[in-house]
Structure 1
Amino acid sequence: MTVRILPLPDTATPPAPDRGIGALTTDRGNLPLDSVGVHASITGLAAGVEVVQGFRNPFDVPLEATYIFPLPDRAAVTALRMEADDRVIEGTLKERGQARQDYDTAIAAGQRAAIAEEDRPDVFTMRVGNILPGERVTVRLTLNQPLPFETDASGSSATFRFPLVVAPRYIPGSPLDDERAGSGVADDTDAVPDASRISPPVLLPGFPNPVRLSITTDIDPAGLPITEVQSALHVVAEEGDGERTTVRLQPGERLDRDFILRLRYAPHESAALSLVPDESGDEGTFTLTVLPSGDARPAPRDVVLILDRSGSMQGWKMVAARRAAARIVDTLRTEDRFAVLSFDTVIERPRDLGPGLADGTDRNRFRAVEHLAALHARGGTEMLAPLDEGCALLADSARDRVLVLITDGQIGNEDQILAHLAPRLNGVRVHTVGIDRAVNAGFLNRLASIGQGRCELVESEDRLDEAMELIHHRIGAPLATNLTLRPDGLDIVPDSVAPSRLGALYPGVPLVIGGRFRGKASGALSVHGTSADGTAWEQHATATTTDDPAAASIWARAHLRDLEDRYTVGGSDDLERRIVDTSLRFGVLCRFTAFVAVDSRVVAEGKAPHRVVQPVETPEGWAAPRVTPAAFSPMFEAAPMGFDGAVQGAPPPAGAVHGAPPPAPAGPAAAMPGPAGAPPPPRAAMPGPVHGSIRPPAQTGYGAAPPAGPGPRARHGRRAQPPTFAQEITEALERLRNVPDDHDQRLQHLLSDVLPTLESLISRMEARKQKTTALTALRDDLRRLHPSSEPARVQELWARSLEVLTNEASGSSRRPFWKRTR
């Protein structure tokens, strides 16, 4: 077999690895993450992937490294392994709270440990603790993922997409007073209570390549007639023996864009039902694939097109988005009605088209295209309001209703948007078009799934024309709607089918359904629906038994994603328990579980390890972060510096609000010794901020307004922040514990310290709409306390105060961030 590898034309040469703006080096490197290796084995239409992350400690104190990184949103993470000092520790999947407790306990005890947590379907956090000075620790993650594929008259194509960087995301909402959920640079808000977990610091522009990246992909067609392999964004080399092909990434590439391979197949029939029994033989996993053919003339449609024009869309993305939107407008007919909404922090419409839906006449379509041509990127990404308005416009249930969102998806409040929209769609089909080289595929796929539509990802202008052909079919009439699944001789486990919403069937878009069955591995399945002309539609498939060890984990990930989306819309303890049980049973990571590996040997004693957050690349095609000259000053200069690299008291950089996006955020991370030739800092000194990463003035995302003034800065340069409610409660608890065991002193302290503290806390927490039940009950009892109260009553309230403040300080009265619903 001969396979042609088609790379893109050569792009600009990456920065020289030896030196760059802001580059400072040590004999042992400068950042904890020194290598990322991806090895994928593609068999047919599924891929098994091993991700290897190498961490090294360049300092003379034990280190805890935190790395916020992406994985494919449909991938099932099934194993973690930590390797250090010739020791191999297999990770265990546990309920998330227990895993975090086990990790923290191990770190406090001086043991090596690693923990992997899911914060979004495609954003994860790895923490590796007690890495000894000069030591290297390797963490391996094992994944299984399906390959999405399309089909047309000339054949089929499958896509292997592996993301390599978490792009900066817009964080709306008001900052929370609670303790931060993570180590990222964005503040947690009421709209994104875990913003600090999805906002890694960003490397300075020109910083030398800090991470060795290797990607190897072995391709086994498994009988499929593969004809071509195309690399979309990277230059690759290939080798093969006629049956299998190996694709390797060229050395020196940076982790700044998705790795994408497209596999082209000759025409073939893929409608099939495969059954994979469990080892026990009592149950198994089924996968039904239906490849539709034909076309249907659409009924009169109402189409709302929503275009993201926020700051992160600047450059080629804005050009591609305008072209995509204009192509969609051009497909409308006179009997269609439509609206075009463009948004950043405000919503704009084409002139003269009015507030409602306009007829799809030539004049109205011209006005819409004219409006699109004048758009440029600016401002923040306030996405909820235009989506809500778009749903409100699509109220006529007698017509085919379609909403199309064109965006890079770089927002943090995904759960808030999905929870708000899900009950409002009411038959509206939602299609998403993601335009970016580091796209937020997790959110766009979730939104399309809830809206029973499709998601199309565009990574370059070269890809746009091909993608628009697919999008044109998707916004047209579906071949069949109201799909249901009917088994024949196959006992399906109730509520196990994934996706739970079968949605509609579109030309060229395969329908892939997974689920669980009981008993004998035999039988058939039929998909029934209603065709575009109102007649019955049916597709039948007879089962064949196969041996696919990845089938169960791929199904479990899809099922868990469905359950998590249900939890987002209306969380319940029963649903949470079901998610945890499913995750643990099938060994697949989810938002309520975590993989943790703990070395039994104690290697570090004494101080807690120094914490470092690994900075990430600026995604290719994004504006480089803007920095002041002070950002490149040696660490120990007299001028005081903050984590943003700016001299204290300097005004915020220009361009923070409109036009180009403001500087990409960065945050607390590792320290650097001075430049080559400069005397090194004292080895006893605790490392400080990273040179080579940047943090802007306090803000909540691209396009957010800078603070009103520079404000005071705390020691080490971090902007001083008011204490959180949890910190205030902890301080009150410490004062309470330090009062001597004396009746008069305890009575005086309850009245003069605890009661006023509670009065202040409760009023501010209620203003933030935070729960204060236990604190309010204690305050009310303390209000009734007086100097003549019996000693027993004082002792009772003293004990009550200790208990309530302890519970509040430990957070036992607040739901963990991963259990919150928006």
Structure 2
Amino acid sequence: MKITSLDPAHCLPLPDAGMGALETERGNLPLESVDVSAHLSGLVAGVEVAQEFTNPFEVSLEAVYVFPLPARAAVTAFRMEADDRVIEGVLKERGEARADYDRALREGRRAAIAEEERPEVFTIRVGNILPGERVTVRLSLSQPLPYEDGAAIFRFPLVVAPRYVPGEPLDGPPVGDGTRPDTDAAPDASRISPPVLLPGFPRPVRLRLSVTLDTAGLNLREAASSLHVVQRDGDRLTLRPDERLDRDFILRLTFDTSTSLLLDGAGTFALTVVPPPVEGARTPRDLVLLLDRSGSMGGWKMVAARRAAARIVDTLTARDRFAVLAFDSFVEPAFDGLREGTDRNRYRAVEHLSRMDARGGTELLDPLLQAVALLGGGDEGRERVIVLVTDGQVADEDRILERTGGALSAMRVHTVGIDRAVNAGFLSRLAGLGAGRCELVESEDRLDAAMERVHARIGAPSVTDLSLKGLDVEPGTVTHLGAIFPGVPLRVYGRHRAGDTLTVRGLAGGAPWEERVPGTVVATPALRAVWARAHLRELEDRYAMGEHELEPQIVRTSLEYGVLCRFTAYVAADTRPAAEGGPEHRVIQPVEPVSGWEPPAGGALFATAMPMSVSRGPAPAAPAAFGPALGGPAPDSGQPLPSGPAPGQGLAYGAGSGQAMKGRRGRGFARAVPAGPQVVRAGHSLDSVRPQLTAELERLTAMRGMPDPLYLVDLGSRLAVLAHFLGGHAELAAVARELEAAGQPGTDLAALHRRTVEVLTALTSTHPFWKRGRPE
């Protein structure tokens, strides 16, 4: 791993912050431990998560922790324990909960608040922790276990991975305390971009994780963990000591299930339908394969992604038509348009894929738009399929859903997530929109088995055109029916008024098919919570796609069923004062670097790798040096995307999220992106990259104080990409080389900053963006 050297003169510690300045006898990070206790009963898991915070300082403290939870989990309870007191959390509308929390802190009372930022990303803030004091917050949640090919999977994420943040920085203060500024594409990027620990940091958070197995009458044949070593004592599995929070915990339970209808006796039902055996000719396909080759895909992930993509191409026949698009900060097609799946074309596609390496940023919106344009209206009798191979680490999820959701719902979308801390929530949402499947690959060892399943799923599903008859179902409460795929049971949740039998109908191989399922009443309160979370998720996806009038319904459903969502929050506030006024320090808990990730060139991943961030009073705005890591085309410019970096020139990728907060929640934040394909062509002129150069210049001129050396190193790599794209622009290449040396001791950063501004000014002075009142 390449570590950029820094001049000590440019890294002077602040009185209250900085590497080494926070050491105390009690340690220097607020999060002491994370304890996950899960009880698996059949295909439902009940989980309690306990996070213990400690204050090692001599003044009162507010701790902020950004952490993941399973995307399908329903958070149903929250409480805070401090000084022998237990304060139960109350679920409220998000703005009201924040006001309660802030009021408690001003009045010197302890308080904690839990908020959802994304389907898998949450934030907890704990305020007025006294010196030397320990405070524990507990979350209770229920989640369904996905079941495929004879195995149920309990997946519990443990780290929020950095996400690529597209767009231009927004004016005004950030809405969160993270290291990335909010942008027009991800207006709350500062909410889920915590600092990242340097690799090997000596005091990781103490992790305890246990799973209790209750087979609920099922014949359990095997329990296996793919990324951790577990110890088994009867029905209890525990994680070995000294594990770090740097990858997902994944447990596979092998057993046979069957078609069933569970009723909780309070109006909630859960239907499971095992796929019937269906034989018949497969429908010809028009397939577009999208391969993510961005910087976050480096190392084993890129190798696995290339292999996965090649395996998908091998499933094609001469009756199929296909296209292959590799993408990072631009889209690179293997050939123009859709081609027949002949041996020759498949060989060309696989050869194209074999040359892919990791670089650039994860600009996912444009390749999805190109895929939609390629598939168009589709030919009668041909199935339209999109297969996306990626880690899904993007911050603009809502913008992507808003721009592509309607079109994707008319196609079949399959996603293959490759990572040890994959963005499973977003990839599942995309697959759900397209009535497809999401397959997760957490290691190269799992790739072959996963690709066998993808091969089976990528064809036409076993049963389509599904409908339910029998129960007196409450309108608008049944979760998405989708389709039944080979090896994947159908799982449906809903609310009903009466009845105890359900009939499932559909088309299997073009012929009518139905199955009658009698109900069984079970004493499982978790069914209601699992249904409420699934129903809220569908409403939230519709909100993200533009149905903003659903917000009151989302809030009302969340409060009625006691399940946390993006517009509500749990708040626990003590009634007894513990301090005088608000906390004097605010600490942003850093997260572990993700296991298996390789940092891009220039050390960009660890640009925010301080052990913690501390401030007196309000949190400072994110520095300009941590702006969006990739200077993409200016929105509305209509300019083609550049061809990206040469092999080995990785670009920085950032972290962020794409949901906005109260007052900025996804309304009008997505500036227009040129519609239709933007395919790379030969013969590029300086005009084709002026929007990118202008974006870089705007960030440089917005910087205040001493330029950040790591930012300048990253900028050098990006300018080198553009110089390569232009066929070797001498002046741009020269300043890129100078910038890449910015991290060396003795470099005059101020002079280098001025020289870069002068060069970019000269190169962009004829561009219309530059004429809008920019200083000379």
- Shorter chain as normaliser: what TM range? 0.7 to 0.9
- Partner residue in 2 for 1:463: 446
Partner residue of 1:90 out of 79, 88, 91: 88
Whether the 8 Å contact between 2:109 and 2:576 is mirrored in structure 1 is yes
1:337 aligns with 2:321: yes
What's the CA shift string for 1:96-131, capped at 9, x where partnerless?
110011001111111100000001010000000000
Q: 1:73 aligns with which of 71, 74, 77?
A: 71
One-letter amino acid matched to 2:568: T
1:271 and 2:259 equivalent?
yes
Distance in 2 between the 1:634 and 1:200 partners?
A: 9
Alignment equivalent of 1:36, drawn from 34, 37, 44 = 34
Query: 1:168 deviation in Å?
Result: 0.3
Please say if residues 588 and 612 of structure 2, whose CA atoms lie closer than 8 Å, have aligned partners that are also in contact. no
- Residue 753 of structure 2 corresponds to none
For the Cα contact (< 8 Å) 1:311–1:659, is it kept in 2? no
Corresponding position: 1:615 with 2:583: no
Cα 1:657/1:132, change in 2 over 3 Å = farther
Q: Which SS does the other structure have where 2:264 is aligned?
A: strand
Structure 1 counterpart of 2:199: 205
| 1:534-564, Cα deviation, whole Å (9 max, x unpaired) | 2112122111211111000000000000111
Contact 1:618 1:624 survives alignment (8 Å): no
Runs of 4+ in 1 over 4 A off after TM superposition: 21-24, 627-636, 642-648, 655-658, 663-666, 704-720
Q: Residues of 1 paired with 2:455 and 2:69: CA distance?
A: 29
1:492 to 462, 468, 473: 473
* Cross-structure match for 1:508: 487
Identify the residue that residue 693 of structure 1 maps to in structure 2: none
Aligned with 2:343 (options 356, 362, 365) = 362
- 2:563 maps to 1:594: no
Q: How does 1:84-483 map to 2 (within 5 A)?
A: 84-151=82-149, 156-240=150-234, 245-265=235-255, 267-268=256-257, 270-278=258-266, 284-296=267-279, 297-350=281-334, 353=335, 355-395=336-376, 396-398=378-380, 399-425=382-408, 427-483=410-466
TM-score (norm 1): 0.73
After superposition, the CA RMSD in angstroms is 3.1
Query: 2:587 is paired with a residue of what secondary structure?
Result: strand
Max Rg structure:
1
The 3-state SS of whatever aligns with 1:318 is helix
Q: TM-score, normalised by structure 2?
A: 0.77
Determine helix, strand or coil for the equivalent of 1:226. Answer: coil
CA drift at 1:397: 4.1
Q: Which residue of 1 aligns with 2:505?
A: 528
Equivalent-residue separation in structure 2 for 1:530 and 1:470 (angstroms): 22
Alpha-carbon displacement from aligned partner over 1:38-86 (angstroms, at most 9, x marks no partner): 0000011111000000111111111111000000000000000100000
Q: Secondary structure at the match of 1:47?
A: strand
How far apart are the structure 2 equivalents of 1:338 and 1:585?
Answer: 47
Partners of 1:465 and 1:593 lie apart in 2 by 41
Superposed displacement of residue 709, structure 1: 4.9
1:26 and 2:18 aligned: no
Amino acid at match of 2:287: V
1:52 aligns with 2:28: no
Aligned residue for 1:570, secondary structure, equals: coil
Contact 2:101 2:113 in 1 (8 A): yes
Offset at residue 498 of structure 1 (A) = 1.1
Give me the identity figure in percent: 59
Inter-partner Cα distance in structure 1 for 2:200 and 2:209: 23
- The residue type paired with residue 512 of structure 1 is R
Aligned in 2, Cα 1:415/1:664: closer, same or farther, shift over 3 Å?
A: closer
Match for residue 551 of structure 1? 527
Aligned partner letter, 2:484: L
Listed as ranges, the gaps of 5+ residues in structure 1 are 1-20, 279-283, 637-641, 667-703, 721-763, 768-822
Is 1:299–1:477's contact at 8 Å kept on the other side of the alignment? yes
Q: Deviations 1:182-223 (Å, cap 9, x if unpaired)?
A: 111111111111111111110112211321001001111111
SS in 2 for 1:39: strand
Deviations 1:383-438 (A, max 9, x none): 00100110111121411111000000000000100111122235211010000000
Q: How does 1:720-799 map to 2 (within 5 A)?
A: none
Describe the SS at the equivalent of 2:466: strand
Can you give the 5+ residue segments of structure 2 that lack an aligned partner in the other structure? 1-18, 615-619, 631-644, 657-694, 712-768
**One-letter amino acid matched to 2:312:** I
- CA distance 1:483–1:97, shift in 2 (3 Å): same
Quick check: 2:163–2:653 contact (8 Å CA) kept in 1?
no
Pairing of 1:610-689 with structure 2 (within 5 A)? 610-624=585-599, 626=603, 659-660=649-650, 662=652
Give the AA of the match of 1:366.
Y
Distance in 1 (CA, whole Å) between partners of 2:589 and 2:185 is 25
Match of 1:739 in 2: none
CA change 1:656–1:206 in 2 (3 A) is farther
C-alpha distance 408-647 of structure 1, shift in aligned 2 (>3 A): closer
Q: Is the 8 A contact 2:290 2:367 kept in 1?
A: yes
Local SS of the residue matching 2:154: strand
**Structure 1 CA distance for aligned equivalents of residues 70 and 552 of structure 2:** 25
Q: For the Cα contact (< 8 Å) 1:630–1:646, is it kept in 2? A: no
CA–CA distance in structure 1, aligned partners of residues 431 and 709 of structure 2: 40
Q: Secondary structure at the match of 1:203?
A: coil
Aligned residues: 629
- Residue 275 and residue 108 in structure 1: after superposition, are their counterparts in 2 closer, same or farther (change >3 A)? same
Residue 556 of structure 2 is aligned to residue 572 of structure 1:
no
- Alpha-carbon spacing, 1:174–1:277, altered in 2? closer, same or farther (3 Å): same
Counterpart contact for 1:631–1:644, Cα < 8 Å: no
Distance 1:69 1:332 in 2: 40
Does the 8 A contact of 2:105 with 2:582 survive in 1? no
Q: CA deviation at 1:705?
A: 6.8
The answer to whether the 8 A contact 1:230-1:261 is kept is yes
| Contact 1:202-1:665 at 8 Å conserved across structures | no
